[in-house]
Amino acid sequence: MASQRGSPSRDNPAAFRRDTLSPCLLRVRRDIAEITADPPPGVFVAPNESDITRIDAIVVGPADTPYEGGFFRFRITCPPGYPMEPPEVIFLTTDAGRVQLHEHLHSDGHVCLSIIGTWEGPQWSPALSLGSLLVSIQSMLSEKPEFNQQLWWRESGAILRHDAVRVAVCDVVEECLQGDWTYPPALRDGVLQTFAGSCAKLEGRLSAGQHLCGTRYRPARSCDGCKNLLQRIQGLRVKVKEVMDRAAVSSASAQQ
């Protein structure tokens, strides 16, 4: 009896893997490759090593907003129907659910954004990508939060800046310095390098705003602790510089 020949995919495991990649996986790979090759400014991504459809991302707060220099972390999950269906997005920078920094980024992790089907407006299209999703989130941070009260916004901008620096800068940088493995290396490196370049500006903003410390606002909150935040930023600047200096020495030694 003649022996049966194996199929091309069985003879070539690599071909078999290519053949069995779903449209979702192929598209996610392409999206991540595009971000890696040409990353949008202030965006860092780290796909899960065991499941590429789960991506951790950092979006840096845009300049001239209360969120400037903050590191806002999101967990993105692409469903099997991606890119015909939108990704799911969870917001993680909430101080364990105690702080809401933006009207569309809730303390329970819910993200209100039209292109992922959680808000009114333009809906998801297969032409969109993970990169365009993250840029949309960054653009949302550039918009003035309403919180239904313009007067409250004008008065509480200092509170948002204070909370953003405390939660999205100091807490995040400290976790990265402690080697918190909940932050993948790509995100940790992005956070520390970005902070090193922006900490002087953050210090200047905090120094200029110290006269607001203790001021009370309509929602019965006060902007306390500006001096403490400034001291935290100054201490973190020293620690981050030490880490980066050691990394530079280690890299130079490895190249010799």
Catalytic positions, written as ranges: 112
> Helices H, strands E: what count in the chain?
8, 6
Q: What angle do CA 30, 31, 32 make, to 5 degrees?
A: 95
Side-chain-side CA neighbours of 83 within 13 Å: the count stands at: 16
Whether residue 83 is preceded by a cis peptide bond, meaning omega within 30 degrees of 0, is yes
Query: Cβ distance 186 to 58 under 8 Å?
Result: no
Pairing, β 216-217 against β 221-222? antiparallel
Query: Cβ distance 44 to 130 under 8 Å?
Result: no
